[in-house]
């Protein structure tokens, strides 16, 4: 069994079981990067540089989807909406949790 230590905000929600709605716990992106992040950051292991803690909502969000121009320097303003939509589709934002990680605190 592969074990890995990840660090998350103490107010982050507990990870749901796979198949339940994503709650922004951040576990998946703290552990390893998704294909899009590997393309952008050339990094396979987490935490993903685009994983952003949202203090007001007490959850994590994908920065590449929230504010693409911050992570893609040179992206023109007119393309940001399109980049946001494509990123959300690519990372399957809003779909069920697909992480099989088991958490031990
Ligand atoms: S996909 Fe799962 S592990 Fe990743 S943030 Fe959502 S709930 Fe957490
Ligand atoms: S790019 Fe977004 S979805 Fe992909 S690993 Fe980073 S934070 Fe997670």
pTM of the model: 0.94
Q: What ligand 2 atom has the least distance to the C-alpha of 61?
A: 7
What is the predicted pLDDT for the residue at 103?
Answer: 76
Which phi and psi (to 5°) does residue 59 adopt? -155, 170
Place of tokens 């069920």: 96
Q: What ligand 2 atom has the least distance to the C-alpha of 93?
A: 3
Q: How far is the CA of 5 from the centre of ligand 2 (A)?
A: 18
What is the tens place of the pLDDT at every residue in 75-88? 999 999 999 999 99
Q: How far is the CA of 1 from the centre of ligand 2 (A)?
A: 24
What is the predicted pLDDT for the residue at 104?
Answer: 76
- Taking the C-alpha atoms of residue 85 and residue 93, their distance in angstroms, rounded to an integer, is 10
Nearest C-alpha to atom 4 of ligand 2 is from which residue?
A: 34
What is the predicted pLDDT for the residue at 90?
Answer: 94
What is the tens place of the pLDDT at every residue in 19-72? 999 999 999 999 999 999 999 999 999 999 999 999 999 999 999 999 999 999
pLDDT > 90? residue 12: yes
- Taking the C-alpha atoms of residue 38 and residue 35, their distance in angstroms, rounded to an integer, is 5
Helix (H, G, I), strand (E, B) or coil at 102: coil
* Helices (H), ranges, the chain: 27-31, 35-41, 63-66, 68-71, 80-90
Q: How far is the CA of 61 from the centre of ligand 1 (A)?
A: 10
Q: What mean pLDDT comes out for the span 77-102?
A: 93
Cα 29 from chain centroid?
Answer: 5
What is the predicted pLDDT for the residue at 20?
Answer: 95
Q: What ligand 2 atom has the least distance to the C-alpha of 52?
A: 7
């Amino acid at each position: 069994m592969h074990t890995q230590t990840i660090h998350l905000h103490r107010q982050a929600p507990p990870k749901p079981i796979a198949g339940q709605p994503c709650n922004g716990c951040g576990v998946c992106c703290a552990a390893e990067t998704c294909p899009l992040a590997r393309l952008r950051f050339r990094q396979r292991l987490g935490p993903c540089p685009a994983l952003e803690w949202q203090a007001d909502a007490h959850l994590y969000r994908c920065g590449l989807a929230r504010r693409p121009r911050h992570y893609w320097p040179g992206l023109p303003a007119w393309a940001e909406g399109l980049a946001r939509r494509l990123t959300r589709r690519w990372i399957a934002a809003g779909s069920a949790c697909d992480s099989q990680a088991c958490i031990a605190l």
